[in-house]
Amino acid sequence: MSEENVVTKLSPALTGKQRRYLRSLGHDLRAIVLVGQKGVSEGLIENLDSALTSHELVKVKVHDGSSIDEVALALHTATGAQLAQKIGKSLLFYRANPEEPEIRLPRDRA
């Protein structure tokens, strides 16, 4: 599966314009969630869920031994976060804070 197909499959609610905006915000972010050799665990999912609630936009770094597509699918399924970008061994996830969203996504013109 190509990089773009994985991204659009896991984030159908995001438009191309919104993904570009999130990628621009995530460019300078450091990965705060690291997927190690053991892969996706309950603790890792809890950490990502907490980080998404706090920050809305979170960069995840995947260890070389893990399949990045499998990790992206598992994290998307477990947290409901949208995959905004997959590049190299990094994933960028977005989930709006349900109470006080800080990131305002651009809307496409109708």
3-state helix, strand, coil in the chain (%, to 5): 40, 20, 40
Whole-prediction pTM value?
0.90
CATH of the domain at 45: 3.30.110.60
Is position 72 within any domain? Answer: yes
Is position 105 within any domain? Answer: no
Is position 36 within any domain? Answer: yes
Is residue 3 very low, low, confident or very high in pLDDT (cuts 50, 70, 90)? low
Looking only at the bridges linking them, the beta strands covering 82-87 and 33-35 are: unpaired
Q: What is the DSSP letter of 28?
A: T
Q: What is the mean pLDDT of residues 90-100?
A: 93
Is position 110 within any domain? Answer: no
pLDDT 10s digits, 33-92: 999 988 899 999 999 999 999 999 999 999 988 899 999 999 999 999 999 999 999 999
Is position 65 within any domain? Answer: yes
> What is the per-residue DSSP string for 33-84?
EEE-TT-S-HHHHHHHHHHHHHHSEEEEEE-TTS-HHHHHHHHHHHH--EEE
Domain hosting 62: range is 3-94
Q: Compute the chain's Rg from CA coordinates.
A: 13
Q: Supply the pLDDT for residue 87.
A: 93
Is position 13 within any domain? Answer: yes
d(CA 56, CA 51): 7
Is position 103 within any domain? Answer: no
Q: How many structural domains does the chain have?
A: 1
Is position 23 within any domain? Answer: yes
